[in-house]
Chains A and B, each alone.
Chain A
Amino acid sequence: RKEVEQDPGPFNVPEGATVAFNCTYSNSASQSFFWYRQDCRKEPKLLMSVYSSGNEDGRFTAQLNRASQYISLLIRDSKLSDSATYLCVRYGGSQGNLIFGKGTKLSVKP
């Protein structure tokens, strides 16, 4: 099982739609999780941290399910500007490095 696994997509949705991404991880010792977004040929930018049972920031909601070892990202009322690749990230065990999934591509159409 890969350390961090994501559906690569692409997810093609109309403006205003609600879209959800899931991410599974293999290391149950992981303590911290994050979602980043990456635009084409740009650096990843932090979108949300996901601690304990999850959190919400405006149109974005992140959930963590430790028992099933997955996290999710929900985007409500999609905007054209939400089009990007969304990266699921966990902090590794003893080494403490950041492990990235390969990303899920989202395309929001007018």
Chain B
Amino acid sequence: NAGVMQNPRHLVRRRGQEARLRCSPMKGHSHVYWYRQLPEEGLKFMVYLQKENIIDESGMPKERFSAEFPKEGPSILRIQQVVRGDSAAYFCASSPRQNTEAFFGQGTRLTVV
């Protein structure tokens, strides 16, 4: 049973381009969480999704950021018109249901140049 898979592991984008981060949850997991982490800082919650639904997006900026978790395929975190401040590690976690253990992918390190 493969763990949570994130790709790409490293992503470099120029200012103004789009970044697409993918997260395939563990088999049987229908809950996905996205977090952002700056160097030497804690994990900041961005968005929580279940299959085809956004449950909580209170941590995600209203502009330029969007997330989806379609019926088929991975969850996608999309950042449009990236700026230098978007440079961070983005982690995805999945769980089979609420109130239970969640497991993380290895993260995508986004660098905006």
A interface, CB within 8 angstroms of B: 31-32, 34, 41-46, 49, 87, 91-92, 95-103
Chain B contacts for A101, CB-based, 8 A: 42
For the side of the interface on B, what is the size category? 20 to 34
Chain A contacts for B48, CB-based, 8 A: 95-98
Whether A98 pairs with B104 at a CB distance below 8 angstroms is no
B interface, CB within 8 angstroms of A: 31, 33, 35, 41-43, 45, 48, 55-56, 58, 89, 91, 93, 98-107
Whether A44 pairs with B91 at a CB distance below 8 angstroms is yes
Point out the residue from A34, A95, A102 that lies within 8 Å of B101, measured CB to CB.
A34
Majority DSSP secondary structure for residues of A touching B: loop
Distance between Cα atoms of A25 and B7 in the complex (Å): 33
- Enumerate 14 A-B pairs (CB-CB under 8 Å) in ascending A order: A43-B104, A43-B106, A44-B43, A45-B104, A87-B42, A91-B98, A95-B55, A96-B31, A96-B48, A97-B56, A98-B45, A98-B48, A102-B41, A102-B42
Chain B contacts for A100, CB-based, 8 A: 35, 42-43, 45
